[in-house]
C-alpha cells in the first residue's frame, strides 16, 4: 500500500501543468495560427504514436520506476525549451520530446498501481484506487491551471518555471517507490521478442479486445482534441485568458470528483452499463455546444469533459481485468498508441477546417460521430466476448 500512496503523490505533483489550460493562447500570443498550433500538436501526437509501444515494451523490460523517472525528465526538458525558445523549430523539437516523455508515463503509472496491489493480493481495490489516483492527478492539474492564469499575468516564464519545479518534486517521490518483481515462473525476465510475441498471442486469443481498444481510442482522442480546442472556443465567446483558466481549473475539480466517485456507479450498475450510459449522455451534451448561449456552451463543455473522467477509470478497470501483468504496460500502450494516432489526424484536420466552418458546429458534428463510433465498437466488444463465453461453456 506504500507504493499506492507514493504513486498518489507523484501523480499529483507530476500533473502540475500550469500551461495546460492556456498553452494554445500562449502560442497564439506569439502570432502562431491555429493551423501551426495544430501542426505542433500533431507532431506531439506523432511522437507519442511512434513511441507508445516501444516505451511500453521498455517499461515491461527495465521496470516501471525507471520508466516514470525518464518520462518526467523529458517533460522537464520540454518545459525548459518552452521557457527558452520561441521559434517554430525549437518548439517542434520540444513537442517531440514531450510526446516521447508522456509515453513513458502513460500506462506505466496504471500498470505500476495495478501490479502494486496485485502482489499484495488486493487487485480488487484497483477500481477505487485508480479513481482516487486520477482524481488526485486532476486535482493537481486544476490547481496548476488556476494558478497558471495568474502566473501568466506576471510573466509567461513563471508558468514554465513553476512546472519544472513540480516535476522535480514528482521525480523525488518516484525515487522512493519499490519496484515490482515477480518471483514465479509466470513472470521470469523477458526479452523484448518475448513481450512482442505474447502481445500478438494475446490479440489472437482475445479477438474482442481490439474492439475495446478502438472504442476507447476514438473516444479519448476526439474528446481530448475537443478539450484543447475548447480554449479557442471559449475565447471566441469573449472570455479572457484568466477567465478561461478559471473555467478549466473549476472543470478539473469537477473531473477529480467524477474520477474519485466513479467506482460507486460501476460497482452498483456494472462497468458496462456505466460506460454505455455515459457515452450516450456525452453524445447528447455535444448537441448543446452550438447553442449560441455562453452559459449553455460552457455547461455542455464542462459536462462532456467531466464525464470523460468517469469513462477513463471505469474503462481502465475493464481493460486491466482483461490483460496479463507481464505485458500490461505494453498492452496499455497500444490504447495510447491508437489514441495518439487518431489525435495526430484529428488535431490539424480540425484546425484546418476551422478556417472554413463555424468552430462550435464543427466540434459538435465530429464529437457526435465519435461517440456513435465508440458506442458501436464497445457493443461489439461485449457482444463478441459474450459469444466466446457461451461457446466455451458449451465446449465444457
Q: What is the pLDDT of residues 3-17, one digit of tens each?
A: 899 999 999 999 999
Mean pLDDT of 80-90: 92
pLDDT reported for residue 93: 95
Among positive and negative, which fits the CA dihedral 9, 275, 307, 359? positive
Q: What is the pLDDT of residues 342-385, one digit of tens each?
A: 888 888 788 788 878 888 899 999 999 999 999 999 999 999 88
**249: closest CA among 104, 173, 146?**
146
Q: What is the pLDDT of residues 229-275, one digit of tens each?
A: 888 888 888 888 778 878 887 888 888 888 888 888 888 889 999 99
Residue with cell string 500550469: 18
> 203 is written with which cell numbers?
490479440
Name the maximum alpha-carbon separation found in the chain: 69
Q: What is the pLDDT of residues 104-153, one digit of tens each?
A: 998 788 888 888 888 888 878 888 888 888 889 888 888 888 788 889 88
pLDDT at position 289 over 80:
yes
pLDDT at position 63 over 90:
no
**SS3 (DSSP) at 292:** coil
346, 366 Cβ separation under 8 angstroms = yes
- Euclidean distance between CA atoms 83 and 203, whole angstroms: 43
Q: 162 vs 313, which has greater pLDDT?
A: 162
pLDDT reported for residue 169: 96
SS3 letters across 354-387 = CCCCCHHHHHHHHHHHHHHHHHHHHHHHHHHHHH
Of 19-33, 116-130, 165-179, 198-212, minimum mean pLDDT range: 198-212
- To the nearest 10°, the Cα dihedral for 35, 227, 308, 316? 50
- Euclidean distance between CA atoms 89 and 113, whole angstroms: 37
**SS3 (DSSP) at 206:** coil
pLDDT reported for residue 23: 83
- Euclidean distance between CA atoms 377 and 381, whole angstroms: 6
185: confidence class by pLDDT, cuts 50, 70, 90: very low
- End-to-end alpha-carbon separation of the chain, Å? 39
Alpha carbon separation from 48 to 38, 164, 304 (Å, rounded): 15, 21, 24
Structural domains of the chain, with CATH: 2-181+201-395 (1.20.1250.20)
| DSSP tag of 183 | -
pLDDT reported for residue 120: 81
pTM for this entry = 0.70
Amino acid at each position: 500500500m506504500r507504493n499506492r500512496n507514493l504513486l498518489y503523490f507523484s501523480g499529483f505533483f507530476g500533473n502540475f501543468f500550469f500551461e495546460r489550460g492556456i498553452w494554445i493562447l500562449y502560442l497564439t500570443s506569439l502570432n502562431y495560427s491555429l493551423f501551426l498550433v495544430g501542426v505542433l500538436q500533431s507532431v506531439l501526437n506523432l511522437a507519442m504514436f511512434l513511441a507508445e509501444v516501444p516505451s511500453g515494451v521498455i517499461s515491461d523490460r527495465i521496470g516501471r520506476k525507471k520508466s516514470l523517472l525518464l518520462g518526467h525528465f523529458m517533460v522537464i526538458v520540454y518545459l525548459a525549451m518552452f521557457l527558452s525558445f520561441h521559434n517554430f523549430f525549437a518548439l517542434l523539437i520540444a513537442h517531440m520530446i514531450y510526446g516521447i516523455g508522456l509515453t513513458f508515463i502513460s500506462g506505466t503509472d496504471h500498470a505500476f498501481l495495478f501490479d502494486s496491489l496485485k502482489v499484495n493480493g488486493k487487485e480488487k481495490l484497483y477500481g477505487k484506487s485508480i479513481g482516487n489516483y486520477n482524481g488526485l492527478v486532476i486535482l493537481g492539474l486544476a490547481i496548476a491551471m488556476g494558478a497558471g492564469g495568474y502566473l501568466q499575468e506576471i510573466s509567461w516564464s513563471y508558468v514554465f518555471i513553476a512546472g519544472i519545479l513540480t516535476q522535480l518534486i514528482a521525480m523525488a517521490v518516484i525515487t522512493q517507490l519499490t519496484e515490482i518483481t515477480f518471483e514465479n515462473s509466470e513472470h521470469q525476465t523477458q526479452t523484448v521478442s518475448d513481450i512482442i510475441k505474447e502481445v500478438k498471442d494475446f490479440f489472437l486469443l482475445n479477438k474482442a479486445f481490439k474492439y475495446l481498444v478502438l472504442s476507447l481510442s476514438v473516444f479519448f482522442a476526439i474528446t481530448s482534441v475537443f478539450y484543447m480546442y475548447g480554449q479557442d472556443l471559449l475565447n471566441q465567446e469573449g472570455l479572457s485568458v484568466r477567465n478561461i483558466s478559471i473555467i478549466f481549473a473549476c472543470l478539473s475539480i469537477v473531473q477529480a470528483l467524477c474520477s474519485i466517485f466513479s467506482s460507486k456507479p460501476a460497482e452498483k450498475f456494472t462497468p458496462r452499463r456505466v460506460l454505455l450510459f455515459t457515452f450516450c449522455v456525452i453524445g447528447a451534451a455535444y448537441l448543446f455546444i452550438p447553442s449560441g448561449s455562453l452559459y449553455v456552451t460552457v455547461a455542455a463543455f464542462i459536462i462532456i469533459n467531466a464525464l470523460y473522467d468517469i469513462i477513463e477509470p471505469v474503462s481502465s478497470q475493464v481493460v486491466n481485468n482483461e490483460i496479463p501483468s507481464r505485458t500490461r504496460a505494453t498492452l496499455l500502450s497500444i490504447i495510447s498508441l491508437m489514441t495518439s494516432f487518431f489525435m495526430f489526424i484529428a488535431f490539424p484536420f480540425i484546425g484546418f477546417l476551422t478556417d472554413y466552418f463555424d468552430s462550435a458546429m464543427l466540434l459538435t458534428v465530429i464529437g457526435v460521430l465519435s461517440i456513435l463510433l465508440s458506442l458501436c465498437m464497445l457493443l461489439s466488444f461485449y457482444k463478441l466476448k459474450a459469444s466466446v463465453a457461451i461457446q466455451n461453456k458449451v465446449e465444457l
